[in-house]
Chains A and B, each alone.
Chain A
Amino acid sequence: MTLVAARSRQAPGSLSRARHRAGRWIAAGVMLVLVALAGVLIGQVFVDPGTVARIVASRLLGVSSVANDVQERIVWDVRVPRVLAGVIVGAALAIAGVVIQAVVRNPLGDPYVIGVTPGASLGAVTAIVLGTGIGSLGVAGAAFAGALLAFVGIVALARRGQGWAPGRVILSGVAIGYLLSAATYFLQIRATPAQLQRALFWTLGSIAGVGWMALPLLTAVVALGSGWLLLRAPWLDALAAGPELARSQGVPVGRFQAELMVIAALVTASVVAVAGGIGFVGLVVPHVARLVVGPAHRRLLLASLLLGATFLPAADILARTLLAPVELPIGIVTAAVGAPMFIAQLARDDRGAPA
C-alpha cells in the first residue's frame, strides 16, 4: 500500500458535473408539476385551463370563482384529489420499494414480498364478497387489517432466533403470497358478477376513489415515514454492505431492520388500503432511480420519491384516457409500462442482476 502524496484531486469536470446533477433534480421537479397540471386539466369533460386555474385559485386563495357548480365539482372534488392521491401513493410505493430491497438485500423486494399487497387484497375481497353492502371505508379497513396480518405472518416465519434472514423473507413472502392469493381467487369464484367487478378493480388498483377525506391522514403517514427514512439513510448505506459490516459501524442491525420493515409495512398498508394492489411501482421505480442517482440512499430515496410521485399520476392519466369513457384499473397501466422498463434495464445491465 504505497502512500501516495496527497494530491487533493478536484476532478476537472466536477463543477459542471454538480451543475448537471442539480439540473436533473430541477428537471424531475418540473416533470412532477407538469404531470400534476396535466392530471387536473385532462378528463372526460373538457374544462378550459383558465376556468381550472380560477377554480383552484378560488379554493386556495379565496378569489371569487366564475365557474359553474358542475365544473367546480369536477375539478376540485374529483381531479385535484385524484392527482394528489397519485402523487402520495406513487411516492409511498416507491420509497417502500427502496426500503424493502435494502432490508431483504434483493432486487425483487417490493410490497408484495412482505405480504402487504396480497394480504390487503384478501382483506378487501373478503369485505366486498362477504360483507354485502359494505362501504368503501369498510373495504379499506379490511384491506389494512389484511395487509398487517400477512406482514406479521411473514415476519414470524422469517425471523430466526434473534436475527433476520433476508432470504427467508422472500421465501416466506412468496409462499404466503400464493396462499393468500388462492383464498382471494376462491372468494372471487363465489362472488356475484357485481362483486367480482368491484373485487377485480380493487386488486388491480385505482386511485379514483381516494378523495379529500383520506388525503390528510395518508399524507401524514407517508411524510413521517419518508422523513424518518431520509434521516436514517446513512444506516441504509451501511446495511447495503451486509448486516455484519453495518453492525461493526455501530448500527443496531436487528432493531433497525425491524424498524424499516414496520415503516415499510405501515406506509404501504395505508396506501394500498385506499388505492388497492397497484403493482410494479415499488419494484421498478427504485431500480430506475438507482440508475440515475446511484446507490447512496439519501439521494436514492429522494429520487424514488420524485419518480414515483410523477409516474403514478402519469399512469393515472393514461388509465382514464386510453379507453375513455371506460376507465382502466391503474395497475394494468403501471404493469404495462413498468414491466418493459424493467426488462430494458435488465438488458442494459451487463453487470448481472440489479442488486
Chain B
Amino acid sequence: MPVHGDSSDRCNNDNTVPSSSIDKQFLAAPIKRAVDKYQLLPEFLKMRGLVKQHLDSFNYFVNTEIKKIVRANNRIVSSIDPSIYLRFKDIRIGEPSVTVDGVTENLVPQTCRLSDMTYAAPIKVDIEYIHGSHGHKIRSEKTDVFIGRMPIMLRSCRCVLYGKDEAELAKLGECPLDPGGYFIVKGTEKVLLIQEQLSKNRIIIDTDKKGNINASVTSSSETIRSKTVIQMEKEKLYLKLNVFSTKKIPIMIAIKAMGMESDQEVVQMLGRDPRYSALLLPSLENTMEFSTNRLVVKSFEMYVSISSSFIPCTELVIVCFNFKCAKEGIYTQEQALEYLLSKVKNFNCPSSEKDGKVIAIFKDVFLANVRVRGNNFRPKCMYVAVMIRRIMDAILNKDAMDDKDYVGNKRLELSGQLISLLFEHLFKSMITDVRRAVDHVLSHRSRSSRFDFSQLLVRPIITDGLERSLSTGNWDVKRFKMHRKGMTQVLARLSFIGTLGHMTRILPQFEKSRKVSGPRALQPSQWGMLCPCDTPEGEACGLVKNLALMTHVTTDEEEGPLITLCYALGVEDLAFLSGEELHAPDSFLVVLNGNILGKHRRPQAFASAIRTLRRTGKVGEFVSVFVNEKQRCVYIASDGGRVCRPLVIVDKGVSKVKEHHMKELADGVRTFDDFLREGLIEYLDIALYEKDVEPETTHLEIEPFTILGVCAGLIPYPHHNQSPRNTYQLCRMDTLLYLLVYPQRPLLTTRTIELVGYDKLGAGQNATVAVMSYSGYDIEDAIVLNKASLDRGFGRCIVMNRLSAINQKYENNTQDRIIRPDREGSDAARMQVLDDDGIAAPGEIIRPNDIYINKQSPKVTKGPPRTRLTDSDYKPSYQTFKGAEGELCVVDKVALYSDKTNNLCIKFLIRHTRRPEVGDKFSSRHGQKGVCGTIVPQEDFPFTERGICPDLIMNPHGFPSRMTVGKMIELIGGKAGVSCGRFHYGSAFGEPSGHADKVEDISKTLVEKGFSYNGKDFIYSGITGCPLQAYIFMGPIYYQKLKHMVLDKMHARGSGPRVMLTRQPTEGKARNGGLRVGEMERDCLIAHGASMLIFERLMVSSDPFEVQVCRVCGLLGYYNHKLKTGVCSSCKNGANISTMKLPYACKLLIQELQSMNIVPRLKLAEA
C-alpha cells in the first residue's frame, strides 16, 4: 500500500509541475536519446538494403505488374475468324536459365559475366487456345509456354542469389557485400538508372515563356499517355491538346462538346465568388466569336453594358450569358462536336467512325486519367472546372502557382516501371505479330498441316527487345511517343562505393544543355530525400542527383480499397453533388492520386482518420494524406515513384519511440517493421533533435546524417568543410582506383561507413601526414612521398586488363585451331608464356609482343565444306600482347567459355602491380587531390621526438583557400584514435548525438597521450638533424589513390606513324602520336627569334615535301622521272622549274584551293 501511495504521489507531483518542465526534465537526459535512436538505422538498412528501391520496384513488376499487363491484353483473336482465339490465363517468370541445343541449364550471375551471356529467366504463360484442322475446332490448354526471356535483376526475388547467406553466395562466386540491383546483359553489368519525371495525373499550374498561366495535366493510364493543357491567354481560356490541329480550342467549346451545354452550370462549378465568374467572362465571349451573326455582336454590346453596371450577382450575369448563348453559333453539344471534328489532326477516317471520333478523343485522350463511364462526361467537366478554378486562383494570387522543381511534384521511375513499360510494348507488338501470322495462315484456304495457335507464339520479339533496350539504353515506345536514350549505364566497378553511388543516381528529365538555373538549384524540399552534396560538376551539375541514405521510393498501391475507405469515412461522391457544391466554401475536395473523389466537410478529421489507420497498419504505410488549406483540398497519394523516408512520430511534443523500444531493438526482439506496425515510425513524403521538440512538432528525424547520400556519408566531418569541397570529393569517388594491395579501414570513420560496409572494403590507406613545406616539389597541391613507405607497400595497386580471343568457326565447316607452341624456332622467345595447349598460362610474366594465344586460321574460309585440312592449309593468326614497354605484366586468369554461336572463346586477365611514382594522383576524403611531386628517402624525411616519420608531406597552402576544416579534424581525430586504440567517428552533424567526436574531447585524448592538444609536434629535420623552427601539424589522414596514373598517360615519340592525308604525325597517345608545337609555343619561339628551331619543328620534323614550282606561272609542277626534270603542266615545259621544299600540308592546301577555282601562285625569289 505505501508503495502504491508513493507512485501515485509521484504522479501527482508530475501533474502539478507544468507540463513543459516535465518535458524538459525528461528530455534532459542527453546520451540515451540520440545514440539509441541510431540503432534504428542499421535495422532499417538490414530490412531495406541499400538498393531496395530497385529491387522493390523490380519485384513489384515481376510479381504484380506483369500479371496486370497480361490481364489487360489477354486475348489474341484472329480478325478473319473471330472464333479462333488464344487467351493468356497466367504469366510467370521462372528461374534464370539458358537453353543451348535444347538443354536447359540454370544460370548463375558469375557465369554470365565471364561468358558474355545475359542473366535472364524464361517468361512462361498458361494459355487456352483453339486449334484444329479441317473445320474441327478444339479448345485446349497448355501451361508453361515459353514466350521470351526476361533479364533478371540481381538479388531480386527471381534471382538465384535471393535470400542466400554469405557462404552460399561465396560458393556461387558472388561477393556477399555486392548490393545487387543491376542486370547482366551480354556479360556487362548494366544499371537501369532512376529517372526523374514530373508527376503524372496532377494539375500543375505554371507560366510559360510569354507569362501565360497554364494548368497542365500529364495523364497516364494503361492505354495512353497524353498531356492536356488549359491556358489563359489574353484573359481567355483555351484548351491545348495534341490531337487537334489548331493549337488552341476555346475551353467553352470543349465543355459544350462534353455535353455541358449550360454556361450557368460552368460558372456554378467555379464557385459563387464573383471574381471567378468575372475572370471567366472573356472565355464565354469566346464561343460567340465563331458566329458571324450580327445579332451576337449586338447582344455582346448589350452584355457589356450590363456587366459594366457592376452588379456583383452571379445569377444575373448568368442570365445574361444564357441570353447571349441562345443566339450563339455553337450552342449545343452537336455543334461543338461538329466544330471540333474539323480540327482533328490527320482526319482521314471513314465517315462511319466520324461521329464517334471527337467523343472518343474526349473519352480517351482528353484528361485520360479521369475515367468515364458510358457517355457521362460529368467527372471530366468537374475536373476541368477544378483546373480552371486553380488557374484563376493563380491569377488572383500568385502564390498559388506550383513549383515544377518541388520534389513533391516529381516522381522517380525505377527499373521495374521502366521494364514494365517496355515489356507491355513488346507484349503488345508480339500479340499483333501473332495475329498477323494467324491471319496469314488462315487466309491460305488450302492449308494442309494442322493449325496450331501455340506454335506461333514463340517469337524473339520480347527477348530481343528487352535485351537490346537494356544493353543500348534506348527506350523506344512508339505508342507513348517515348524515345529516351542513355537509360542504362555500365555499372561503375572502380570502387565499391562508386558502385553504390551509381545505384542511387537519379537521371534528370531535362536535357543537360539547357541553361536554366531553376532545376539545378538545391530545393529545400530535397531535405532528407536527395543528397545535397552528391552531384557531378560541369554540365549535369544539379540535374543528376543521388538518393539520401534513408530514402525509399514507393511502388504503386491498389486504389480500389482506398476509394472505398474514403467513401466510408464520409467523402461525398462527386456524382451526387451539384456543380455549385464543387467549390462550396464549407467543404474540402478529396483528391486521390489526382482523381477527384468527392467532398468532405471535416477535412482535418478525415485526414487524421486516415493517418490513424495508416499507423495501425490498416492502410499501406506509404499512403500519404495532406490537407491543403490554400487549395481547400485533401490530397491522398498512393501512387508509385514518390520519394519518402521514415521519421519518428511525435505526439503532443513527446517522441513515440521510447527507451524501452530501443532496448527491445537492441535485444533483437523488435525489428524495424514492428516500429512501423505499432505506429512509432512512419514514412513521410518531410524537427531534428529531441530537445528541440515543441508541442507543435509532429515528427522527429531518426538521425540527421541520413540527409546525405551513401557517398557523402564517407566524408568525415563534412559539416566542417566548405560545401563545394564535399561535392568535389564525391565526383572523385568514382574515379578511385583499380585494386589496392593493402587496403585499410579509415581511422576516422563515420556511421555511414559502417552501415554501408566501406570498412570492409576500403579503398585507401591511413597515411601519416605532416603538413609542412618541403623541398619545393610540393607546390600547387603536390605531395612528397616517403620512399620507405612506398617500399613497404603504401599506395601499391593492381591494374587489370582484359584480352580475348575467339576460336572462330567458318561456313565451310572449318575452324581456327590453337596449337602447341614451337619451343625451338624463331618465335620461341615470344612464346614463353604459352602452355603446351597454346594458350598463355596463368602466373606467367608477359612482356610486350609476347604471343598469348598460338592460334591458326584456315586459309580458305568460304565456299564448299572442306574436311581433312593439313598444316599447310592454315596460316598463323596468333595474337600478341601490346603492353607498354617496361611494365611487368602477369597473366592473372584465363577463362574458356563458348559464346552464342558455340565458338570457343578465351578471356585473359592481365594484371600489373604498380608502385606509386612521381606524377601519380592521390586524394584525401575532402576533395583535396594532389600529385606526387617527388619521392624522398626516409633518412631525409623529418622525424618526431618519438621517431615517427611521416609517409607523406602536404603543403599547408592547401588549407586556407579550401577551408577544409574537416580534414584538420580528421587528422587530429586519427592521431587520437591511433594513440588510444579506438576508432573515432566523424559522422555529419554528429557532434550533439555522439556520432562524431568533438575536437575538445580529441584534444583531451591527445594531451593524455603526451601530444600537444592542437596536434602539432616538435620535429627534427632529417637533413640537418636540427629541430625545425615550427611545430608541425602531423597525424594520420585517410588517403586514396586515384586512377590517374602517369604510367597510363606518359607518352613520347621520336619518329612514328603519320596521317595519310596531311603526312603529319598522328595525334594522341593511342596512335603513338607526336606532341604538337601549338600556336602559343610557336609564338614563344618567334619571340625568342629561334627561327631555325621553328623551321625544324614545323617542317623538317613534320611533313617536308619537295615540289617543282614553275617560276613563270607560279603553279606546282611535277617531276618526270624519265626526263629527270621537273615539268610544269600548265606551261607544258620544264624550262623554268625550281625545286623547293614545302610542308606537305601547304601543297595540299594549294591543290585544294585549285580544285575550288582559286589559283594560288607562288612567286619565287632568290634567297
A in complex with B: no
